[in-house]
Structure 1
Amino acid sequence: MGAIHLIRHGQASFGAADYDQLSSTGIEQGAVVGAELLRRKIRFTEGRTGSMARQRATAEIVLDWLGAGATAKEDPRWNEYDHVDIVARHGGGALQDANDPRGYQEVLDASLAAWVRAGDDGPCAETWPQFAERVRVALADLVAVLRKGESAVVFTSGGVIGTLAGHLLGDPAMGLLQLNRVTVNCGITKLVTGRGGVTLVSFNEHAHFEGRAARLLTYR
C-alpha cells in the first residue's frame, strides 16, 4: 500500500489586507506539524503544494524540518475554492471582519451551500462541480505515480481536504459543507492506496496540538 498525507495550511491572516499570508500562529503551527512528521519517520517520495502563498509557506516550513531531499511540486489544482468570489456571488459580498469571525463564517457557510446547490449553472468563475472534479483528478494523478510502499505529502486547504474526504465516503458535498468546517490548521488527513483504490483511514489528526501546543489549535 501507498500513503498520502494531506496537510492543511497554517492559520492565514483573517481580516488583514492580504488574507493569503500565514499569521505568526500559522508559522508556529507549520513547525509543530513538521516536527510531528519528522517524529513519524515517514519517507516521502512525492510532495505537492497548491500555489497559494499560505500553502507554499506551510510547505517550506515543514520541508525544512524534514531535511535535505524533501521537496513539493507546485500544482494549482490543490488550491482552495475562491471564497471571495463565492461570497460575492452568493453572500452579498460580505468582507472578513477580524472583530466578528463567527459572523463571516455564517455568511461563508450559507454561500458555500448556495454554490453547491447552483451546480453547473452557478455564477462563480469556478462552479462547485468544476472544483470537485479538479481536486478529484489532482488526487487521482498523485495516486497514479505512487508505487507500492511509497508515501506522499500534500499541502492544501480545508475545502479540498473536506471535499476529498467526502468523495471517499461517497458524498463530496457533505465533505465540503460539514467536514471542511472542522478541519484544523496543520491537521493531518491520511489516505492509503492499494488494489482496492483509495481509502480514508484518518481525518484531521491534531494530537500534535494538545498539551503545551494547545494554544496553537485553530480552525481558520
Structure 2
Amino acid sequence: MGAIYLIRHGQASFGAADYDVLSEQGTVQSTAVGAELRRRGARIAEARCGSLLRQRATAAAALAELGGDLSAKEDPRWNEYDHLDVLAQHGTPVRQRDPREFQAALDAALRAWTKAGTGSPCVESWPAFGSRVRAAVTELAAALGKGEQAVVFTSGGVIAALAADLLGGGAESFLFLNRVTANAGITKLVAGQSGLSLLSFNEHAHFESTSLLSYR
C-alpha cells in the first residue's frame, strides 16, 4: 500500500509586506518536519511542492534534513487558493495585523466563496480549486509503485480540501479543517486498490512540547 504525506508549509510572514516568505520560525518548523519524517523512517520515492515561495522553501529545508538527494518537483496545482482574491470578491480586504480579525474575515469570505460555486467572480472558483487539487493527488497516487511513498509540500487549504473530499464532508468540512491546520503539520493518505483514504490529519505532535506550534 502506497502512502502520500501532505505537509503544510512552515510559518510564513504574516503581517509583513510579503506574506510568501518563510519566517525564521517557519524555517525551523520546516527542518523539524523533515527530522520527523526521518524519525518515522519514511522512504520517499516522489516529492512535490507548489510553486509558491513558502512551499518551495519548506520543501528544500525538510528534504535537506531528511537526507538523500531527492528534490521536490514543482507543480502549481498544489498552490493555495488566492486568499486575497477571495477576500476582495467575497468579503472585505483586511490588513494582516490582527490574526483573529483576519481569520474571522477570511472565514466569512471563504464561506461565501464556497456557496457561490461556479458563479464566483474570483479567478478560481471553489469547484475549480477542488478539481485541480484532486487531479494533482490522483496523478501522484497513480505514479507510485507498490509500497512507495511520496511527500507533498503544500498549503492548509489544499490539505483541508482533500481531507474534506475524502471524508465526504464537502464545503462545511473544508471550512472547519482549513481553520485548524498547523504550520508544518503532517497529513497522511494511503493509496490502495479501493483508491485514496485519509489515514491521519494535521499531525503536529513533533511541535506540541515546544514553542514551534503555530497556525497562522
Per-residue deviation at 1:210?
2.2
| Contact 1:165 1:172 (C-alpha < 8 Å) held by counterparts | no
Kindly indicate whether residue 211 of structure 2 is the aligned counterpart of residue 215 of structure 1.
Answer: yes
Distance 1:50 1:172 in 2: 23
Task: Give the TM-score, by structure 2 length.
Answer: 0.98
Q: Secondary structure at the match of 2:211?
A: helix
Amino acid at match of 2:93: G
CA deviation map 1:118-162 (0-9, x unaligned): 110101000111001010100100011011100000000000000
1:82-121 aligned at under 5 Å gives the runs 82-97=82-97, 100-121=98-119
How do 1:133-148 and structure 2 match up within 5 A?
133-148=131-146
Alignment root-mean-square deviation, CA: 0.9
Distance 1:149 1:63 in 2: 20
Q: Which runs of 5+ in 2 are unaligned?
A: none
Deviation (angstroms), 1:40: 1.0
Q: For structure 1, which runs of at least 5 residues remain unmatched after alignment?
A: none
Q: Identify the residue that residue 56 of structure 1 maps to in structure 2.
A: 56
Identity of aligned residues (%): 62
- Alignment partner of 2:3: what SS? strand
What is the letter of the counterpart of residue 216 of structure 1? L
The residue that corresponds to 1:79 in the other structure is 79
Residue aligned with 2:105, SS: helix
Query: In structure 1, what residue type is equivalent to 2:7?
Result: I
Where has structure 1 moved over 6 Å in runs of 4 or more? Answer: none
Once residues 174 and 8 of structure 1 are traced to their aligned partners in structure 2, the CA distance between those partners, rounded to angstroms, is: 20
Equivalenced residues, count? 216
Which residue of structure 1 aligns with residue 169 of structure 2? 171
Q: 1:216 aligns to what SS in structure 2? A: coil
